[in-house]
Amino acid sequence: MHITQINTLMNVSKVEFGTSGARGLVSAMTDEICYSYTQAFIKYIQARNQDSIKTIAIAGDLRDSTPRIMTSIFKAAKDLEIDVINCGFIPSPALALFGIIEKIPSIMVTGSHIPDDRNGIKFNTPSGEITKKDEEGIREQNITINPSLFNHEGEFIEQQKLPSIDLRAEKLYLERYLTFFAKDSLTGQKIGVYQHSGVARDIIPKLLESLGAEVILLGRSEHFIPVDTEAIRDEDTQLAKKWADEFNINAIVSTDGDADRPLISDEKGQWLRGDTIGPLCAKILNAKYIATPISCNSIVELSEYFKEVKRTKIGSPYVIEGMQLLADKGYKNIVGYEANGGFLNHDQIESEGKFLSPLPTRDALIVIIALLQRANKLNLKISDLLKELPQRYTFSNRIKNIPTKESKLLLQQIKQSFVNNISNESLNFLRSHLGEITHIDTTDGLKIHFKSNYIIHLRPSGNAPELRCYSEASTEKEAIKINNTVINHVASFFN
């Protein structure tokens, strides 16, 4: 037997906490590493709760590596004499909801939108997604490993087998929407479902049809496709326009890999921005208070629909903390959303005598259904819904394969040069192309505000070696143009 601390394993394995759980290369996420992280999580939960944990629920996305990692989690729990409910391959929010209802912890195996050579483990307490404080507690856990379980590559010596799939979590997730939205609320709508390799690809059609919609199934893939709702692939943009024209549909809907981020297009196949559909969903649900990351569009303040907007760092744990800060003031009707479109509701939502239970973790389906039923109820096109908001446009892109350390160094140099009024190549470039800088927000990365009303936000990704660039302007054309300008300039430093 040997004892180790999770912090040490993270440093050695490079499987580290990002904005949504622990993630890393599949090659680094060995059976032993995943087993160890699971035991650390369970021990942390046991230490935090007075009542001993007897059961956990697990689920996963459709990546090739997911079943193996789920097996490692199952074995780790079993060795701690914890029963495991295998919920199968279902959305992350479906698993979290099940854990909340059953008052048990849950663990989701997913890399969300990142490529198939990477994966991750998302931990949920009995009350929902872990916070940054919980992460610290997990990191500090000491665990005891039996080396006889693993070979030199960290693989199990004896083959493990998962328990049979329990369908209760999927059923509860569907019931959440079917009891809140009227069963005919989508009657007359023809909706395309871009299935690709998303774990909700069969659940979404089932839900839409139950609400009265005609469903067209599109683009199913047996190979994992890394659909990122913040940086939509050119091929997905072209496919949506082609499908919209070919099938004459009202909208196309989809999600990322684990269905906590939505994709929804208008009738022309134009994908909508996550930080545009977030405020729309909040308005439809009559939310009064919003928590949202610093990267999101300023539409939410400019609309004046909400009593207070709490800006946070990027990542659902920070949005959850932001919602809690609003709740601590005694507020009700609190929701959160992210630039990727993921939507969270802190407390119960009521509409026409029906209630939607709290779900303080990112969810995709609530946004999809809320917008579709709103458009249908008012006999509007999806594009018409956007006219309810101020005309402010955002665009995002990323530079891949940039070490986080190098990204942070570049941003630190820009910040210090601005604060100290020192000449800097990047600052000079930005001023010459975008105009005078009024101020820089360092809540998370660098959000640079210009007198021209342009906004540029640069931030290293928390999940991958990428530098993300968000831009905001008064027109979509301008937002794309300034984003490309900045991306090309910054990329030149790393070529």
Residue 101 burial (C-beta neighbours within 10 Å; 0-12, 13-18, 19+): middle
Q: Which residues are catalytic?
A: 112
Q: pLDDT by residue (tens digit) across 226-254?
A: 999 988 899 999 999 999 999 999 999 99
Average pLDDT over residues 58-87: 97
User: Span 301-309, mean pLDDT?
Assistant: 95
**What's the CATH superfamily of 393-491?**
Alpha-D-phosphohexomutase, C-terminal domain (3.30.310.50)
Delimit the CATH 3.30.310.50 region(s) of the chain: 393-491
Kindly give, in sequence order, each residue whose CB lies less than 8 Å from that of residue 329, ignoring residues fewer than 6 positions away.
none
pLDDT score at 50:
60
Give yes or no for residue 20 having a pLDDT over 70: no
Bridge-partner residues for 220, per DSSP? 196
pLDDT for residue 174: 97
What average pLDDT does range 88-112 have in this prediction? 97
Provide DSSP, 217-279.
EEEE-SS-----TTS--HHHHHHHHHHHHHHT-SEEEEE-TTSSSEEEB-TTSPBPPHHHHHH
CATH topology of domain 189-388: Alpha-D-Glucose-1,6-Bisphosphate; Chain A, domain 3 (3.40.120)
Whether the per-residue pLDDT at 205 is higher than 70: the answer is yes
pTM: 0.89
Q: Please state, rounded to an integer, the average pLDDT across all residues of the chain.
A: 92
Q: Which residues pair with 292 in a beta bridge?
A: 311
Instruction: Provide, rounded to the nearest whole percent, the portion of the chain with pLDDT above 90.
Output: 74
Question: How much is the pLDDT for 423?
Answer: 84
Amino acid symbol at 242: K
CATH fourth-level superfamily of 2-170? Alpha-D-Glucose-1,6-Bisphosphate, subunit A, domain 3 (3.40.120.10)
- Give tens-digit pLDDT for 380-431: 999 999 988 898 988 888 888 888 888 888 899 888 888 888 888 888 899 9
Where exactly does CATH 3.40.120.10 map onto the chain? 2-170, 189-388
* pLDDT digits 0-9 by tens, 134-157: 999 999 998 888 889 999 999 999
| Interatomic CA distance for residues 382 and 265, integer angstroms | 8
Between 342 and 13, whose confidence is greater? 342
The reported pLDDT for the residue numbered 396 is: 84
The structure tokens listed for 102 are 């059953």
pLDDT value at 1 more than 70? no
Coil, strand, or helix at residue 84?
strand
